[in-house]
Amino acid sequence: MTSLSAPVRGREHPVPATDRRHWLATADDLLLATRPHASPGGALLRLPGPVSASGAWSDGLEGYARTFLLAAFRVRGEDGDDPHGHLERYAAGLRSGTDPAGPERWPRVGERRQAVVEAASVAVALSETRPWLWDRLDEGTRQRTVEWLAGIVGTSGYRNNWLWFQNVVEAFLAEVGGPWRQEDLDRNEELQETLYVGDGWYSDGCDHRGRLRTFDNYTGWAWHLYPLLRARIRGHALEPLHAGRLREYLGQAQHLVGATGAPVLHGRSATYRFAVLAPFWAGAIAGATPLEAGQTRALASAVLEHFTSCGALDGRGLLSVGWHRPFPRLRQLYTGAGSPYWASKGFLGLLLGAQHPVWCAEPATPPAWRRERVTLLPVPGWLVLCTPGDGTVRVLNHGSQRSLEPVPAARADDPFYDRQGYSNRTSPQLSPGAIAAPTDSHVALLDERGAPSHRGDAEPLHLSGGVAVSRSHVHWLDLPAAGGDDGEGESGGAAVWARLRRGPRLTTASVARGRFEVRLAWWDELPGAPGASPDAPPELAGTDEEALWPRCTGPFAVHVGGWPLAAGSAAGLVVEEGEDWVRVRRGDGTTSLVRALTGPVLTGAGRRTGADPFGPASATPWLRSRGHVAAHRVMATLVVLSAAGEDRDLDAVAAVEAGGSGPVRVRWRDGHVDVVPRGREAAR
């Protein structure tokens, strides 16, 4: 991790100091709000909202298990004090859910795979509350619970963070005299090490070519949380291996939360919201964090306040599927109405008693909030641009993707992983039309009909200082016609496609300085194709995959999409344009700007409705080359997201020198020069 920093611009945000009593009250409110939705015996919690792919039966177990985790942290942290009788209700649910002949029985692991996940929460909760719940249960309920949990023993096939669910369940079973297998734990430890990449980062699985590219919040709220929970089940300290990796991770993860408490919206399961706090609390509990106690308190308080003040709880006090307010399009297939309650992990800090320094120390500003900086995170391939003065964090993505299953052909880009940029003020556009034809925070080649390419598998090439370079083999999906200007008619064009066409390689580069990014793009043919670069490696040439699909040979225009902004209505987003620039301005002063630095361009802004969790209306500024762009020719664009955009932002870059096939030089207004390698140099 490297950083380039400068003094904070603009106002500084006050450091929050939410006390422990507020956290306890919030936990109680969350739990009490779910009670009306429990089944008569308390085993199934059927919350209002969408049903997951696992079905309503599994979702009922999920609601029980994830809220039980919250109740366990709350009661354990108060040394058994339970004024609202939370544990009595979960004990009753345990009796009903583990009764194989009862009307509220839980699905077993062999019946619903999702039961593996929920079994881990049940095991952790039972361990944390053992003196007040497990030890007071009748023997029959204890035996039935062991039998239900034991369904995970001897199972295999886990390829990502799920291995930790088996680890913690079998750890609890071992503690209560149940069955467990050392072979399961040894296999999981071996897999864990194959998925550890470095600097505290795990890839949550590998892609279909065996590459480790899936970096997201699961590194924190799964890979770094469950080792601590297992250690607590066993009654010992966190192992040095895991403690060291957690400390490294937190040194970087702090840069992904803005000074307003807003985390970057990136990756799957974003609806877990303040679960992003789990690794920060884990570090405080284990003594494995680079943050001081007051800094952890400030960061955690800011995140909790951010979500509770922005509508994460609906009028009934329930957590909805969404980011701020309800937004069902944020869900994945496995997301049900109970899924958001993995936000319970964000209350892990309640395990720290009232006298712990985290709760007693004066809140202090975390290091990431002190200075405007560009931070390079080499493992995920991210440039992180933090401007604490306006609380904005931007991630320029040149390394992280999600592609876990072998697939017969390329698919639409995953909007949660494959965009060029992510931030804590914006979201990828999530409507069917936006997914089918990506334009926001995206660089694309436009075919003869003007359709944008998909990024596909991106390969990191260069990461140094404030410069990141990656390339991908782009493709197009020819979709059935869908009604509406946004391609969002009833035919669901984003979900199916009629034909795939392969394109050339597209290289993109980000040059970051302060809040500014210069985004570069150029394309070249694959090795062996007409016009191919002699410097290009031959790894994709002549493969069977290439022979399967027709090629799109151009000519191509280049599209560069800026940051999307959302508002309560279309009138709240004003589009301003000049000859070579376009800016979207929101009423609160937030702006998204793109300006061409090379070549003549067309400008515009794409408007959508219902595509953005931050608001019903959204708009994305874009530039497109005026005419076709030849192979190897560099297109350069200034891309800016700012909470208080200024006209002088247009002149942030003095010049971009991109002649010939040599390095590109970006000259900034203050005289600083960044050099971007090309050809063989970029791959070093």
Q: What is the mean pLDDT of residues 236-261?
A: 98
Residues 333, 469 within the same domain: no
Q: Domain end: 302, 332, 367, which one?
A: 367
Residues contacting 490, CB < 8 A, separation 6+: 482, 483
Q: What's the whole-model pTM score?
A: 0.94
In percent, the amount of the chain with pLDDT more than 70 equals 90
Residue of higher predicted confidence among 372 and 660: 372
Q: List the domain range (segments joined by +) for residue 274.
A: 14-367
Give the three-state DSSP class for 123: helix
Q: How confident is the model at residue 647 (pLDDT cuts 50, 70, 90)?
A: confident
- How far, in Å, CA of 455 to CA of 472, rounded? 6
- At 495-541, the pLDDT tens digits run 455 678 999 999 999 999 999 999 999 999 876 555 444 444 444 44
Q: What is the mean pLDDT of residues 599-612?
A: 96
- How far, in Å, CA of 152 to CA of 120, rounded? 10
Residue 179 pLDDT:
98
Residue 9 pLDDT:
45
Provide the b/e sequence for 188-213 (b: ≥16 CB within 10 Å): beebbeebbbeebbbbbbbbeeeebb
Judge whether 119 lies within some domain.
yes
Residues 465, 319 within the same domain: no
Q: Domain end: 345, 367, 389, which one?
A: 367
- How far, in Å, CA of 413 to CA of 54, rounded? 24
- At 25-52, the pLDDT tens digits run 999 999 999 999 999 999 999 999 999 9
Q: Which residue has the tokens 């429990």?
A: 38
Residue 535 pLDDT:
46
What the block records as the tokens of 192 is 């864990």
Judge whether 228 lies within some domain.
yes
- How far, in Å, CA of 439 to CA of 99, rounded? 52
The sheet carrying 382-387 orders its strands as 2-7, 371-377, 382-387, 392-397, 421-423
- At 434-443, the pLDDT tens digits run 999 999 999 9
Give the three-state DSSP class for 266: coil
- Are 495 and 488 in contact by the 8 Å Cβ rule? The answer is no
Q: What's at 248, amino acid-wise?
A: E
- At 354-386, the pLDDT tens digits run 999 999 999 999 999 999 999 999 999 999 999
Judge whether 385 lies within some domain.
no
Q: What is the mean pLDDT of residues 164-190?
A: 98
Q: Domain end: 367, 388, 418, which one?
A: 367
Residue 61 has pLDDT above 70, yes or no: yes
Residues contacting 135, CB < 8 A, separation 6+: none
Judge whether 482 lies within some domain.
no
Please state, in angstroms and as integers, the Cα–Cα distance from residue 580 to each residue in 315, 508, 622, 648, 656, following that order: 46, 20, 11, 15, 15
- At 200-217, the pLDDT tens digits run 999 999 887 888 999 999
Judge whether 160 lies within some domain.
yes
Which DSSP letter does residue 106 get?
Answer: P
Residue 680 pLDDT:
64
- At 62-75, the pLDDT tens digits run 999 999 999 999 99
Residue 145 has pLDDT above 90, yes or no: yes
**H-helix or E-strand spanning residue 594:** strand 591-596
Q: How confident is the model at residue 491 (pLDDT cuts 50, 70, 90)?
A: very low
| Mean pLDDT taken over the chain | 92
Q: Structural domain tally of the chain?
A: 2
Residue 601 pLDDT:
96
Q: How confident is the model at residue 485 (pLDDT cuts 50, 70, 90)?
A: very low
Residues 164, 289 within the same domain: yes
- At 529-586, the pLDDT tens digits run 554 444 444 444 444 455 567 889 889 999 999 999 999 999 999 999 999 999 999 9
- At 662-677, the pLDDT tens digits run 999 999 999 999 999 9
Residues 343, 467 within the same domain: no
Residues 469, 340 within the same domain: no
Of 20-24, 259-263, 551-555, 615-619, the one with minimum mean pLDDT is 551-555
Q: What is the mean pLDDT of residues 141-159?
A: 97
Residues 178, 287 within the same domain: yes
DSSP string, 160-222: STTHHHHHHHHHHHHHTT----HHHHHHHHHHHHHHEEETTEE-SS--TTS-----STHIIII
- At 90-115, the pLDDT tens digits run 999 999 999 999 999 999 999 999 99
**CATH number where 176 lies:** 1.50.10.10
| Beta bridge partners of residue 423, listed in sequence order | 394
Give the three-state DSSP class for 598: coil
Judge whether 421 lies within some domain.
no
Residues 178, 318 within the same domain: yes
Cis, peptide link before residue 408, omega less than 30° from 0: no
Residue 499 pLDDT:
78
- At 282-305, the pLDDT tens digits run 999 999 999 999 999 999 999 999
Judge whether 607 lies within some domain.
yes
Residue 433 has pLDDT above 90, yes or no: yes
Judge whether 373 lies within some domain.
no
